[in-house]
Amino acid sequence: MNRALKPARLTQSLAALFGALALATAAHAAGDKTVYDQARATAKASYDTARKQCDSLSGNAKDVCVAEAKAARTKADADAEASYKGTVKARQEAAKDIAEADYEVAKERCDDQNGNAKDVCKKEAKATYEQAKVDAKAQRDISETRKDAAEDKRDARYEADAEKCDTLSGDAKDVCQDRAKRMNKQ
């Protein structure tokens, strides 16, 4: 009974650790190489510790533990990279990598079952994986659409503000046009 609880406690501990790491990494500005390198080093150290704890287990419990440790590292690395790059594409790639890691864990968990229950478990894991990939792509598309819409709004506002300046002349017109540009670059 205790052996069944160990992987669950380990999983909870790893999830809490990597969640805190992801939040700390996300709190820093995109492009901070030092923070990125530190997050990756922390992820590796945490993985090494978790992996060593798996050595005390055997059979599929060990396989699940190792898969969970790898998944936690993958999640931390992906989050660090997405935060470092700071792009929509990087966030989509991170979501895809995390989905793959979760899928590997789910497949390992299915190995505890037999027959039809195992087949159903694997198909549900695959369906969850495919859904996560689709959600990541949709999130990217939504982000790009929002960005495009914001640019279109800003351009339309600039054109309207610039049109108002056409009634002016000389320095007043120049000042008005500069103000329109500054106001619509935000």
User: pLDDT digit string (tens) for 7-52?
Assistant: 555 555 555 545 544 544 444 445 789 999 999 999 999 999 999 9
CA dihedral 12, 22, 24, 85 (to 10 degrees): 170
Residue 9's pLDDT is 55
Distance between CA atoms of residues 159 and 37, nearest Å = 44
Q: Which comes out higher in pLDDT, residue 169 or 21? A: 169
Instruction: Choose the weakest-confidence range: 67-71, 98-102, 114-118, 161-165.
Output: 161-165
d(CA 136, CA 142): 10
Nearest residue to 140 (alpha-carbon basis) of 82, 64, 75? 82
DSSP label at 28? Answer: S
Res 138: pLDDT: 87
**Residue range 137-150, pLDDT digits in tens:** 888 888 888 888 88
Compute the distance between CA of residue 7 and CA of residue 15 in angstroms, rounded to an integer: 12
Distance CA 182, CA 121 (A): 57
